């Protein structure tokens, strides 16, 4: 039950048998007008990763694909894969080109796995990029503080020596 889309889950909860739970989403969505099917297809076509996390993006596309399948307008795996690739941002360009060139008929699960691995790789690189400048700034800051202290000590020694008329050491 937890894996069901919230809108579908509400139709399944009231079912009193496994068969009626299985049939409930179909009867709920099969009566959609052709306009509503076009609307679902349009919404599906317009989904892009943009501000979604990778998993939210995939979940949204998969949810809409499931709704389309329920109403009798399923999307084939190859078309679903192309849709997913076309909605990803430039950070997925390299993996997208590789998948398009080599994976002609990959299952959705393998396809999803490759993209998820690439998303993890990107996030790992982003963390490394963020941590490197902070370390460099801290190191630079300590060097500047050390030089400032040394200059300050030299200035104080020079002032002390100029008051006592002794040559600087």
Q: Is residue 17 part of a domain?
A: no
Q: How far apart are CA 15 and CA 9, in angstroms?
A: 10
Q: What confidence score (pLDDT) does residue 2 get?
A: 46
Digit-coded pLDDT (tens) for 110-129: 878 888 888 888 888 777 77
- Which residue stretches of the chain have pLDDT < 50? 1-2, 158
Work out how many domains the chain is built from and give that number: 1
Contact by Cβ (8 Å): 87, 62: no
Provide, for the chain, the percentages of residues in helix, strand and coil under a 3-state DSSP scheme, each rounded to the nearest 5.
80, 0, 20
Digit-coded pLDDT (tens) for 17-33: 888 777 777 666 666 67
The residue segments making up the domain with residue 86 are 32-164
Q: Is residue 13 part of a domain?
A: no
pTM exceeds 0.75 for this model: no
Average pLDDT, the chain: 74
Q: Is residue 15 part of a domain?
A: no
């Amino acid at each position: 039950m937890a894996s069901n889309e919230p809108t579908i889950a509400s139709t399944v909860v009231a079912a009193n048998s496994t068969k009626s739970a299985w049939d409930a989403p179909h009867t709920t969505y099969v009566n959609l007008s052709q306009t509503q099917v076009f609307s679902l297809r349009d919404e599906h076509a317009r989904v892009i990763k943009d501000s979604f996390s990778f998993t939210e993006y995939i979940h949204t596309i998969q949810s809409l694909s499931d709704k389309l399948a329920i109403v009798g307008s399923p999307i084939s795996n190859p078309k679903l894969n192309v849709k997913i690739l076309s909605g990803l941002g430039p950070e997925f360009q390299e993996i997208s080109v590789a998948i398009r060139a080599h994976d002609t008929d990959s299952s959705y699960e393998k396809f999803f796995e490759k993209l998820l691995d690439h998303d993890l790789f990107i996030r790992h690189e982003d963390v490394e990029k963020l941590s490197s400048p902070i370390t460099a700034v801290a190191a630079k800051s300590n060097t500047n503080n050390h030089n400032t202290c040394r200059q300050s000590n030299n200035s104080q020694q020079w002032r002390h020596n100029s008051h006592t008329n002794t040559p600087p050491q």
